[in-house]
Amino acid sequence: MVLIAPSLLAANPACLGDEVKQLENAGADLLHFDVMDGHFVPNMTYGPFILRKLKKITHMPFDVHLMVDNPEKIIPWFIEAGADIITFHLEATSQPDELLKTIQNAGIKAGVSLKPNSNMKIISQLNRTPDLVLVMGVEPGFGGQTFRPDTPQRIVQTKQLCPSALIEVDGGINQKTAQLCIDAGAEILVAGTAVFENGSYKKNILSIKGDAQ
């Protein structure tokens, strides 16, 4: 069964703790925690201090997506803060194998992320196998973007290149695009607007899961 990871980028930052509790009660499987530095992507979001505080109020795993330059500098911060999954972009570092090793040695799942125009063959050149590959359905940086139609094909190609890894998809996920992704092999769907719209979190999560069975 597909897992739904609501993106906290779409949550109300004025009451983030309450949002997390509502998502847990609504049946979310894990929480997608976007980290942006204003350099790798033109936006800025949450840091490890927020993650550490939120970990105290929920049992849901935190899926930390680093959209930052030089992720090796901040990965230790998020390990210490309690991340359950840490994903970084291959274009942001010159030492992806070392980063995978650092994350996995800490007992945390390690992932790599692919932007729409990333060279997917880099995955097959890694010496260390990631636990997860995050396929972006949009350009990283902002929520509410339109799902790119080539995403399902890229999911299939990713699974072929890294068959042992979980495939996660982020960007443009809604009740319609969820089915396309799951048919292509996605196992975790990150959804922002589609979960938070109208305030009906449980209904929205069930709708996305229902269409993706």
User: What are the residues whose beta carbons fall under 8 Å from the beta carbon of 105, sequence distance 6 or more?
Assistant: none
Instruction: Give the DSSP letter string of 46-90.
Output: --HHHHHHHHTT--S-EEEEEE-SSGGGTHHHHHHHT-SEEEEEG
Tokens 């094909």 -> residue: 153
Tokens 């979001």 -> residue: 45
Distance from C-alpha of 122 to C-alpha of 127, rounded to nearest angstrom? 10
Residue 164: alpha-carbon gap to chain centroid:
18
Neighbours of 31 (CB within 10 A): 25
- Residues recognised as catalytic: 34, 170
Distance from C-alpha of 203 to C-alpha of 37, rounded to nearest angstrom? 33
